[in-house]
Structure 1
Amino acid sequence: MKTLALFRHAKSDWTDARARDFDRPLNERGQRGALAMGGYIRDSGHRFDRMIASPAVRVAETIETASKAWGRTFAVEWDRRIYLASSATLMDLLRDLEGDPKAVLMVGHNPGLEDLIFDLVPDDGSSPLRDVVEQKFPTATFAVMELAIDSWADIDDRCARLVELKRPRDLDPALGPELPA
């Protein structure tokens, strides 16, 4: 059995139209969301053997801010392949993990993270949280899957069960989507 946690970067800033997508920082709501989710992850008791992440600025800032709430820093393996990756690319990256860690935290982007959940978790009612992901996998969302595999090399479609899903708005409604006036 393996554990894969996914953490989508927090809300980014779109005010500078000249900034490359890769270089967009977090906005103020994103900072608050990353801090809240960092506290939640700390309090949930999850432990990870490895953290792999996209090197995009908004991901790095999400990890940095969440780490303040965790009360510690983590060794992050930055992997450019995660930036805007498809589910297939993310699965290939996981298959190639060295050392065969038991629990991995991947920090990255949509639609890749969401699509990875759809590919790994069967749509058969065994993971009711999958339906929530179908509605939306917003920024700063944290999801945990248990994979029925002995080695990361064995990862394949429909091998997981989604056992936990937490969105920032579940912790603080002010961190949810902005409502129309």
Structure 2
Amino acid sequence: MTRRLIVLRHAQAEPLIDGSDHERPLTAEGREQARAAGAHLASGALFPDRVICSTAFRTRQTVELVAESLPDSPPVDFERDLYGADVPAAMELISRTAPEVGTLLVVGHNPTMAQLVGAFMPDEPLDSFPTAGLAVIDLEVEWLYAAPGTGAARLLT
């Protein structure tokens, strides 16, 4: 069984003025970006079976808006560790995915999401990964063994 990893950077968030970065909401443009990302997934029949999402408010909002375009809302695992994760920590979370999950959506933050995608594109440097950026990584291994070199990434947006 081929595994498909969909990587999504959260949509555009309000700038941090006061309070916590963790609680920044999406802007109006960010809400539209998230809906467009969901529509893009739906148009390509890229339906996640499960989601790993940072606990930041902007990522939670992004997932909710993306799910509006999907025929079924997949179960979401909110992972506080994804909020400040580096690529190895993100890969550790991904490796814990149940074997029966065929398509996993990970919603997080830059620079980690860009670096994660870039690690699966060694021959094509990733110059940027914008807000609501989407990439698909087709893996040749089970989640437990997922690592750079075990699949190939392509940018969707």
Match of 1:22 in 2: 22
Contact between 1:8 and 1:110, CA under 8 Å: does it hold in 2?
A: yes
Alignment of 1:170-181 (within 5 A): none
Q: Which amino acid aligns with 2:113?
A: L
One-letter code of the match for 1:162? Answer: A
State the 1:73 CA deviation: 3.1
1:96 partner letter: R
For residues 21-170 of structure 1, the aligned pairs below 5 Å read: 21-70=21-70, 72-123=72-123, 130-131=124-125, 134-149=126-141, 151-163=142-154, 165-167=155-157
Q: TM-score, normalised by structure 1?
A: 0.79
8 Å CA contact 1:9–1:62 kept in 2: the answer is: yes
2: distance between equivalents of 1:74 and 1:147?
20
Deviation, 1:100, is: 4.6
1:31, CA displacement in angstroms? 0.9
> Quick one: distance in 1 between partners of 2:146 and 2:131?
25
Residue type at the aligned position of 2:46: H
Larger Rg over CA atoms: 1
Note if contact 2:12-2:26 (Cα within 8 Å) is conserved in structure 1.
yes
Shift of 1:104: 0.8
Structure 2, unpaired ranges of 5+? none
More helix per residue: 1
Change (3 A) 1:65 1:156: closer
Q: Structure 2-normalised TM-score?
A: 0.90
Stretches (4+) displaced over 6 A: none
Instruction: Note closer, same or farther for the CA distance 1:99–1:119 as it changes in structure 2 (3 Å cut).
Output: same
Gaps of 5+ in 1: 124-129, 168-181
Residues 11, 59 of structure 2: 8 Å contact kept = yes
